[in-house]
Amino acid sequence: MNELSIFWLVAVIVLGIVEALTVGLVTVWFAVGALAALISSLFGGPLWLQILLFVVVTAVTLITTRPLVKKYFGKNSHKPTNADMVIGKEAQVTEEINNLQGTGAVKCLGKEWSARSASGEIIAEGEIVTAVQIEGVKLIVK
């Protein structure tokens, strides 16, 4: 194993460790590029080919897999729950909604929810409102 092979091997290991520590899919593409360069080095490829393979393989894996990774594992990937079904649905106020007093309840899709007004207005019992979001265990309505 020559010095360049050792360099690429160390790069693969270090990038793999950094990836494992960050768990953010930050260096995995560089590790794959370094692995390609390592293989080239082990077969006696010249330095320019190793560097070219590193850059090209890194770029190709980044371009082809990053959109898929972001789609399935991205920070903004929202896992819907059954509670999300109430968003946009009508609900009947079963207890006056008063944000200042911290009171209010609605019945939506057969379930009782604590409720708050999105605009801060007081909403009387019996009114029909629309659920606009969920904050914790409270339904925000308008």
User: Residue 43: its pLDDT value, please?
Assistant: 94
Q: What percentage of the chain reaches a pLDDT higher than 90?
A: 57
For range 106-133, the mean pLDDT: 92
Please name the residues in contact with 109: beta carbons below 8 A apart, sequence gap of 6 or more: 85, 86, 89
Report the alpha-carbon distance of residue 25 to residue 29 in Å, rounded.
Answer: 8
- How many structural domains compose the chain? 2
CB 85 within 8 A of CB 98: no
Query: What CATH number corresponds to the domain at position 117?
Result: 2.40.50.140
CB 97 within 8 A of CB 116: yes
- CB-count burial class (<10 Å; 0-12, 13-18, 19+) for 91: buried
User: Residue 67: its pLDDT value, please?
Assistant: 77
Name the average pLDDT for the chain. Answer: 87
**Which structural domain range is residue 17 located in?**
3-73
